[in-house]
Amino acid sequence: MKNIEEVRLKRGQLYWYILEVIGITLISGGNPLRPVIPLVIKEIVNTIKKIKHINVEEKKIIKSLKSLEKREIVNIEEKNNNIFVKLIDKKNPTIIKYSIKAILDFKKKEKVWKGQWFMVFFDVPEIQRNKRDYLRNYLQKIGFYRYQQSVYIFPYECEREINLIKKIVEGAKYVKYIVANSIEDEERIKAYFKI
């Protein structure tokens, strides 16, 4: 475990780490260390330590949380000498985005590939080009491999995450989720995901 002196976080980096912790809590139904929502600040500190392998002072976490509170993403409450963090809106696109990214990153780190490919196909009409472009960029940002123009692949089960993406993009009828046992160019895609 690195000491706090060894790790210099970039400006705003802690803010995104906190969103990841909140996201993991939201999708998994609980904190990796304790299955409870709302989160206590100490749990956020411990989860960042566990996931990112860094130590962060509570006062820095509180400062970042106050920024999230100003943006109306969380509420901070004090009870019995503990500070609790509650999500204002579980359907907030920022939270959903970081929830999905955090979970998919975690699945990639675990590297337990079962020989299947999880594919997302979409056919968004030209009249909704912005939605289509957003979906393409979004899938690449969260770690999918672009197999074709409107076909993206991930090596680990992700149906739940895709259902959340459908809500963000408001294009559920255009997005299809398929599981494949084999695909062409498999070796190239395995190399991309390092599996």
In this predicted structure, which of 49-53, 135-139, 152-156 has the lowest mean pLDDT?
49-53
Mean pLDDT of the chain: 76
Work out the average pLDDT over 61-68: 81
Of 101 and 53, the structure prediction assigns the larger pLDDT to 53
- Asked whether the predicted pLDDT for residue 26 surpasses 50, the reply is yes
pLDDT at 7: 59
Longest dimension (CA), the chain: 58
Q: Which domains does the chain possess?
A: 4-87 (1.10.10.10), 111-193 (3.30.70.240)
Which H helix or E strand runs over 55? Answer: none
Give the pLDDT confidence score for residue 27 in this predicted structure.
57
- pLDDT at residue 29 is higher than 80: no
Q: Which of 182, 108, 174, 102 is nearest to 135 (CA)?
A: 174
132: left (phi over 0), alpha (psi -120 to 50) or beta: alpha
Q: Are 146 and 188 in contact (CB under 8 A)?
A: no
Confidence of residue 32 (pLDDT cuts 50, 70, 90): very low
pTM of the model: 0.58
Q: What is the DSSP letter of 26?
A: H
Is the pLDDT confidence value at 94 over 70?
no
